[in-house]
């Protein structure tokens, strides 16, 4: 089994987070040490870690499915929509700024560096042979950096939602 499982989807709300949580629990129940990771997340639903740092609610649920405490390195970049095309930018659990999409994309290189450092830190702490399900990782980062994980022997799952009522 590869060290990394990556879930990618056709859009928001197709079930990547739920599948990642399910795989986290399945692997934990089969004796694997496993962690969730989502490089960036846009969500109104967030929670607070025991250290008082903010992260995506889905990654908190996934950490619970793994039987580990939530850690902001599991979701280093969180965007919380504030309306009118702006979002609150939270990096490593702390509010950094409120910015437009255009402003956010000018920070893509810095945000990728933060996310990569968080991932590498988890990987180092948990060991190179442990399983680390990723989900929707590194989307919306520059093309040349998005392929970082594909070179790390990940197993890729594509998640689709098919609307049968639109026939």
pLDDT at 69: 95
Contacts of 27 (CB under 8 A, 6+ apart): 34, 131, 133
Domains of the chain by residue range: 4-166
For the cut 70, the answer to whether the pLDDT of residue 134 exceeds it is: no
Superfamily of domain 4-166: P-loop containing nucleotide triphosphate hydrolases (3.40.50.300)
Longest dimension (CA), the chain: 49
Q: Which two tokens stand for residue 95?
A: 């509010």
Helix, strand or coil for residue 40? strand
Whether residue 160 is predicted with pLDDT greater than 70 in this model: the reply is no
pLDDT value for 71: 96
Encode pLDDT of 46-104 as tens digits. Answer: 999 999 999 999 999 999 999 999 999 999 999 999 988 899 999 999 999 999 989 99
Least confident of 51-60, 92-101, 124-133, 151-160: 151-160
Judge whether residue 130 has pLDDT over 90. no
pLDDT tens, residue by residue, 64-80: 999 999 999 999 999 99
Instruction: Name every residue whose Cβ is closer than 8 Å to that of residue 1 and which is 6 or more positions away in sequence.
Output: 131, 155
Question: How high is the pLDDT of residue 45?
Answer: 86
Please tell me the distance from the alpha carbon of residue 161 to that of residue 28, in angstroms, as a whole number: 26
């Amino acid at each position: 089994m590869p060290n990394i499982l990556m879930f990618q989807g056709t859009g928001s709300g197709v079930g990547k987070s739920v599948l990642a949580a399910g795989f986290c629990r399945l692997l934990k129940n089969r004796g694997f040490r496993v962690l969730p990771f989502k490089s960036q997340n846009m969500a109104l639903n967030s929670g607070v870690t025991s250290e008082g740092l903010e992260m995506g609610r889905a990654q908190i649920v996934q950490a619970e499915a793994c039987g580990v405490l939530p850690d902001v390195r599991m979701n280093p970049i969180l965007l919380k929509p504030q309306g009118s095309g702006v979002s609150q930018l939270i990096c490593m659990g702390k509010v950094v700024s409120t910015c437009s999409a255009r402003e956010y994309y000018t920070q893509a290189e810095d945000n990728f560096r933060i996310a990569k450092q968080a991932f590498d830190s988890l990987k180092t702490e948990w060991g190179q042979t442990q399983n680390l399900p990723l989900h929707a990782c590194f989307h919306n980062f520059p093309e040349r950096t998005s392929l970082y994980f594909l070179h790390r022997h990940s197993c890729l799952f594509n998640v689709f939602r098919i609307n049968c009522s639109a026939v």
